[in-house]
Amino acid sequence: MTRLQALNPETTTGKTKELFNAVQSKLGAVPNMMRTMGNSDAVLEGYLNLSGALSKGKLGGKIGELIALTVGQSNDCHYCVAAHTYIGEKLLKTDIVTIEAARLGKSEDAKTQAILQFAKTLVDKSGRVADQDVTAAKDAGVTDAEIAEIVAHVALNVLTNYFNNTANTVLDFPAVATV
């Protein structure tokens, strides 16, 4: 049972209505997570702004989705794992083997593996990474800018994971089996 109400985009007003309209025009729908975040226009706007900024970053959309899968699985967020599996597979055309590996923080590509491992380490250590964790990422070719973006992607996804786990957001993406 949901704990926080998802707002109806048709009946909202003010800043939340503006944000819902922007999401609707970009995605063609307002997903339940965003409808629920809309209870606080500050939360929804903050999420959208950081997400939008990171989409223009050095890591790119595909790596961002893979990080989201790693973090979502680590935080046992069924909503985020389902959403990012759908986005990765249907919109970014990422194969399911790559998606399932990312959920475990794995990749066949060495640099992507280092990125996902660093993201998983950030979650596992609550951000208190060691020198050797950063060095391992750099040794795999991850730049300082990319490390900064990995931290930001993890923070964004921890926000959505914690939000959805708190709200018990109604799933509006195809459910995904656990790995």
pLDDT at 179: 75
Q: Which residue has the tokens 């490390």?
A: 147
Q: What is the 3-state secondary structure (H, E, C) of 7-51?
A: CCCCCCCHHHHHHHHHHHHHHCCCCHHHHHHCCCHHHHHHHHHHH
pTM of the model as a whole: 0.96
32 close to 6: Cβ distance less than 8 angstroms: yes
Confidence of residue 167 (pLDDT cuts 50, 70, 90): very high
- Per-residue pLDDT tens for 56-88? 999 999 999 999 999 999 999 999 999 999 999
Q: Mean pLDDT, to the nearest integer, of 121-145?
A: 98
Domain ranges for the chain: 14-55, 60-167
46 close to 151: Cβ distance less than 8 angstroms: no
pLDDT at 4: 97
pLDDT at 114: 98
Q: Mean pLDDT, to the nearest integer, of 31-57?
A: 98
Give CA–CA dist 175/82, Å, rounded.
Answer: 6
37 close to 47: Cβ distance less than 8 angstroms: yes
pLDDT at 1: 85
- Per-residue pLDDT tens for 91-125? 999 999 999 999 999 999 999 999 999 999 999 99
DSSP 8-class letter at 59: S
Query: What is the CATH number assigned to the segment(s) 60-167?
Result: 1.20.1290.10
H or E element in which residue 128 lies? none
Give CA–CA dist 128/47, Å, rounded.
Answer: 23
Q: Cα separations (Å) of 140 from 8, 98, 103, 113, 115?
A: 46, 19, 20, 9, 9
Q: Which residue has the tokens 């986005």?
A: 87
Confidence of residue 90 (pLDDT cuts 50, 70, 90): very high
Residue 178 has pLDDT above 80, yes or no: no
